[in-house]
């Protein structure tokens, strides 16, 4: 306050509110985890986009190039037992991982937001039903039920889309409970009561008053969902339940494992998709933590 009083009035007119992007960049400087996570993610996106423009996508599939070649100038990541160029496979695999993650994460968050709102807003039996279902499903190890679903399908029917679908089926409980608890606390705040008294409709309150305030939580829930979806799809694929022909990262590791890659000295085959997976999951984990800090200031570190 004192600085404002000290500055001449002429300067005050020049002060502009910095744009949202500038504010976000400034925030990133304080929230280092989020910054590093976003940076890695941007690099991965760049890798995939540039890759998709330069590779021959056919080389990501079996019998397209010379087999079992270690990394070289021609094949920067080497080729595998089945004659896939692992560089092409990484590009296509990352793209597929992103597709599964965004699709499953998006749908899961959407279901979570709708159910969470219904649960918190309508209360009574709607709330009781949704809450009970979530509570009953939570102790069940979701990944194992996904194993049952994926295992019951004919291997030829499993595609990237079905993977996303399998993940979504059991992945909406988390966001539902998070959104529900947040809406519950918001409902009691004064600005909502004021809006209600001044005759704003239920929908108006939801979309104009509550939803904008929930955006950080929804963003955090979305990233958590994408993380969970990528993780689940990876685990299913590592177990040999993915679309076997596709160069999904987990599938490549599964194939390398089945062919005894380390025993035979083809070390690059499982290592390259592993590193790619670490980068993907690591960046998502960092972003998730960073957003949590943004949404719950209580977690913010005391400097």
The residues of the shown chain that bind other proteins, judged by CB under 8 A, are 135-145, 147-149, 151-154, 231, 234-235, 238-241, 253, 257, 262-263, 267, 270-271, 274, 277-278, 281-286, 289, 298-299, 301-302
Nearer to other proteins by Cβ, of 59 and 78: the residue is 78
For residue 197, the minimal CB distance to other proteins (Å) is 35
Nearer to other proteins by Cβ, of 51 and 270: the residue is 270
Question: What angle in degrees, to the nearest 10, is found between the helix axes of 211-238 and 173-187?
Answer: 170
CB 18 within 8 A of CB 260: no
Nearer to other proteins by Cβ, of 222 and 266: the residue is 266
User: If we measure between CA atoms, which residue out of 283, 295, 298, 265 comes closest to residue 48?
Assistant: 283
- Lookup: tokens for 84: 């896939």
Nearer to other proteins by Cβ, of 20 and 301: the residue is 301
For residue 175, the minimal CB distance to other proteins (Å) is 16
At 79, give phi and psi (nearest 5°): -130, 160
CB 276 within 8 A of CB 249: yes
**Spatial separation of the C-alpha atoms in residues 74 and 96, rounded to whole Å:** 24
For residue 298, the minimal CB distance to other proteins (Å) is 6
Number of residues that this document lists for the chain: 303
Nearer to other proteins by Cβ, of 207 and 262: the residue is 262
For residue 45, the minimal CB distance to other proteins (Å) is 17
CB 238 within 8 A of CB 253: yes
CB 34 within 8 A of CB 300: no
């Amino acid at each position: 306050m004192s600085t404002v009083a000290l500055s001449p009035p002429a300067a005050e007119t020049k002060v502009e509110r910095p744009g949202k992007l500038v504010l976000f960049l400034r925030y990133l400087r304080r929230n280092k985890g989020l910054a590093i996570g976003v940076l890695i993610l941007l690099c991965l996106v760049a890798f995939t986009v540039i890759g998709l423009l330069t590779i021959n996508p056919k080389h990501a599939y079996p019998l397209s190039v010379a087999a079992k070649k270690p990394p070289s100038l021609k094949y920067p990541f080497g080729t595998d037992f089945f004659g896939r160029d692992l560089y092409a496979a990484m590009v296509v695999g990352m793209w597929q991982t992103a597709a599964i993650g965004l699709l499953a994460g998006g749908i899961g968050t959407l279901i979570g937001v709708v159910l969470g709102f219904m649960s918190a807003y309508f209360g009574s039996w709607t709330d009781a039903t949704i809450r009970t279902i979530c509570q009953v499903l939570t102790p069940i190890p979701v990944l194992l039920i996904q194993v049952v679903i994926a295992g019951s399908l004919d291997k030829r029917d499993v595609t990237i889309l079905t993977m996303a679908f399998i993940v979504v089926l059991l992945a909406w409980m988390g966001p539902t409970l998070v959104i529900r608890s947040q809406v519950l606390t918001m409902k009691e705040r004064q600005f909502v009561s004021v809006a209600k008294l001044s005759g704003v409709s239920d929908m108006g309150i939801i979309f104009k008053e509550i939803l904008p305030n929930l955006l950080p939580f929804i963003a955090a829930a979305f990233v958590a969902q994408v993380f969970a979806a990528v993780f689940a799809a990876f685990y299913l694929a590592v177990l040999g339940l993915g679309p076997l022909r596709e160069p999904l990262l987990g599938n490549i590791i599964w194939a390398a494992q089945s062919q005894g890659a380390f025993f035979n000295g083809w070390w690059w085959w499982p290592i390259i998709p592993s590193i790619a997976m670490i980068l993907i999951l690591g960046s998502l984990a960092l972003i998730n933590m960073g957003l949590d800090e943004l949404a719950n200031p209580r977690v913010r570190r005391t400097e």
